[in-house]
Amino acid sequence: MIVPSNRWLFVIALALVAGASAIICASAGSSGLTLPWASGEGTASLILNQIRFPRVCAALLVGAGLAVAGSSLQGLFRNPLADPYVIGTSSGAAVGAAVSILFFHGFLLPVSAFTGACAAIITVYFIAKRSGRVPVETLLLTGVAVSFFLSAMLSFLIYRSGENMHQIMFWLMGGLWNADWSSVTIGLLVIPGILLLILAAREIDILSLGEEEAATLGVNTEKVKIALLAVSAFVTAIAVAIAGSIGFIGLITPHIIRSVTGPQHRYLIPAAAIAGGLILLWADTLTRTFLNDIPVGIITAFFGAPFFLYLIRRRTGV
């Protein structure tokens, strides 16, 4: 863990690496190397400006959103296994996307996915709410139960999808094939969410100590929980609407960054945002350059699961 005076230097260094990575990843691709300063109306300029750069920007924004949502939810639930999908966001988005593909031929698919994710979060919250309070443990368990129900609904839709099954399954694997400048415009909405979570860093730190301790320190725990849940769900819904279900970014990135910056969220959240974007950016570049553009969700799961097991072993000393 680095000393406190160097934590912001670490965040700045990550930002510089992200900028350099964006240029490198935009330059590389299956069609060969394209210089980032290419101009004109040729094929190289078209590939760079209309395909690679939007995809690079979308990867950075989606990865940042998932990592930040994971960081805040792990603090909220006081559970290192919490991730952006634990409260039903992914399952709700998947059902929304499947409905769009099955009944409307994919019309407004990102909007349908976003609507499904938001509907799932609202459902979880109102089921878990009792007597004006939303216990964290009840919220977590309710999210798991709703996720299972939505997964069953999704399985039924896939079973009845017929020739649309391939399209639904491809979306569920997660990928950035369809990323364009309109996707980037939508993705920019994660930035206000990230800023709000950074501003709430102190409250997240206090809430991670426990609800009773937070209340004695003057924190309105119910309002903070609602705000954290709403912003995290919103950021996750935007990310899922753009790229589908991409696992492990929101789970492992906070663990990696926490081992460097420590648990304070004022450092953890901005660093995790940049690191999450970097991880997804390089994973997506690997798939489109060397692996025939397979779904990037496969890559993040393939490398993320073993790495997470390594983190668990190191944490427990097994």
How far apart CA 107 and CA 305 sit, in angstroms, is 34
Q: Do residues 312 and 259 touch, judged by C-beta distance below 8 A?
A: no
Note the pTM of the prediction, 2 decimals. 0.91
Per the structure, how many domains does the chain have? 1
Closest CA to 59 of 168, 184, 170, 171: 184
Give the CATH number of the domain where residue 107 resides.
Answer: 1.10.3470.10
How far apart CA 287 and CA 174 sit, in angstroms, is 12
How far apart CA 222 and CA 89 sit, in angstroms, is 20
- The residue range of the domain holding 11 is 4-316
Query: Is the Cα torsion angle 265, 184, 229, 225 positive or negative in sign?
Result: positive
CA distances from 136 to 75, 107, 159, 235 (A): 11, 36, 35, 20
Q: Do residues 36 and 244 touch, judged by C-beta distance below 8 A?
A: no
How far apart CA 58 and CA 126 sit, in angstroms, is 32
Q: Do residues 168 and 97 touch, judged by C-beta distance below 8 A?
A: yes
What's the pLDDT at 5? 64
What's the pLDDT at 6? 84
Can you give the pLDDT of all 318 residues of the chain as single tens digits? 666 568 889 999 999 999 999 999 988 876 666 665 555 566 777 778 888 899 999 999 999 999 999 999 999 888 888 888 888 888 898 899 889 888 888 778 888 888 998 899 889 888 888 766 778 888 888 988 999 999 999 999 988 888 788 888 888 888 998 889 999 999 999 999 999 999 999 999 998 888 888 888 888 888 888 899 889 988 988 998 899 889 889 999 999 999 899 889 999 999 999 999 999 999 999 998 888 889 999 999 888 888 878 877 776 655
How far apart CA 296 and CA 272 sit, in angstroms, is 19
Q: Please name the residue ranges forming H helices in the chain.
A: 7-27, 43-47, 53-77, 89-104, 109-128, 136-159, 165-173, 181-187, 190-199, 201-207, 211-216, 221-243, 249-261, 265-290, 296-316
What's the pLDDT at 315? 65
What's the pLDDT at 268? 95
